[in-house]
Structure 1
Amino acid sequence: MDPLTPLDTLCRIILRAREYEAQTPSDYDEGEGADNVDDEEEGALSVLDDDMNDGIEEELQAAFDDLGEDQLAEVLAFCWVGQGTYDTGDWDEAYDEALTEVRAKSAIESLMEMPMLASVLESGMAAFELTCEGVGDLS
């Protein structure tokens, strides 16, 4: 499969999504024997990063904003394949549904809120034998 979205763009989205996920506020429940005083603050950050960086979120949002409708639908469809919502054989159906979501203006919000965005996008691409290996600094 030859993606509509350039591979380096897809890989940049994966990289930004990883950075974004690494600094997302933690959902850790203190009531289950938490003994770390650093976790006592409301909205504590995950251990992967100690400061929220709005720039990363803005960069990820901008990467999605820069995509055309067909490319954004492709990214969303790759994610759905990566999640197991669709199989590779159902690509046309996944893409058509994603295009409907893009036109309803809810695709970017869905992607920004998607758990493990980087992993599911990467898995969806891998299902079509697409990889970021050897692409820019992502290898």
Structure 2
Amino acid sequence: MELETPLDMICRIIVRAREWDAQVPSNEPDEVDDDGPISTDDDYDVMIDEKNDSVEEEIEAALEDLAEDQQAEMLALAWIGNGTYDAGDWEEAVAEAADPENDPIVEQLMDMPMLAAYLEAGLEAFDLSCEGIGQID
């Protein structure tokens, strides 16, 4: 199996997806009383990495910038990483990912929880890794 998608591009998406996966919804209260916002009494709010739309938009833009066959490879890697397909079923996974009858590939990837972990596991299934590439150690 030889990837059409450059490994460094996959690794950059993994780095950003890790950051996105680590974010949590805001802990700010939605309710307001006469004296102002209702306190959450959480002294550690500043330590929480809240959802950041720019990270999500960056990942989505990186995926959309890929050619269609590269997008299909990314989805196939994620499917192999989450156990939907085995590494030996690579061509079948890529063909299924590219099927125009399915939801758009970028949408499927963006809706996938643990995207970074699945992509990493998919790479590992082919003895590939991001070790030593860019920001990943």
TM-score class, shorter: 0.7 to 0.9
Structure 2 match to 1:83: 82
Structure 2 match to 1:115: 113
Moved over 6 A (4+): none
Structure 2 match to 1:2: 2
1:3, distance to aligned residue in structure 2 (A): 1.1
Contact 1:4–1:70 (8 Å) recurs in 2: yes
> Which sections of structure 2, spanning at least 5 residues, go unmatched?
27-39
Name the CA distance, whole Å, in 1 between partners of 2:127 and 2:135.
19
Output aligned runs, 1:2-21, within 5 Å. 2-21=2-21
* TM value normalised by structure 1: 0.79
Structure 2 match to 1:125: 123
Structure 2 match to 1:31: none
Structure 2 match to 1:29: none
1:25, distance to aligned residue in structure 2 (A): 2.5
Name the CA distance, whole Å, in 2 between partners of 1:68 and 1:15.
20
Name the CA distance, whole Å, in 2 between partners of 1:106 and 1:24.
25
Name the CA distance, whole Å, in 2 between partners of 1:105 and 1:80.
14
CA shift in 2, pair 1:48/1:79, >3 Å:
farther
Name the one with the larger helix percent.
Answer: 1
User: What one-letter code is carried by the residue in structure 1 that aligns with 2:20?
Assistant: Y
CA shift in 2, pair 1:54/1:11, >3 Å:
same
For 1:56-103, what per-residue CA distance to the aligned partner results, in whole angstroms no more than 9, with x for missing partners?
A: 0111011101100000000000000001110111111101000115x7
Instruction: Give secondary structure in 2 for the equivalent of 1:71.
Output: helix
Structure 2 match to 1:98: 97
Structure 2 match to 1:73: 72
Greater Rg over alpha carbons, structure: 2
Contact 1:22–1:48 (8 Å) recurs in 2: no
User: What one-letter code is carried by the residue in structure 1 that aligns with 2:55?
Assistant: I
Instruction: Give secondary structure in 2 for the equivalent of 1:86.
Output: coil
The RMSD of aligned alpha carbons is 2.0
1:55, distance to aligned residue in structure 2 (A): 1.0
Question: Size of the alignment, in residue pairs?
Answer: 121
Structure 1 match to 2:33: none
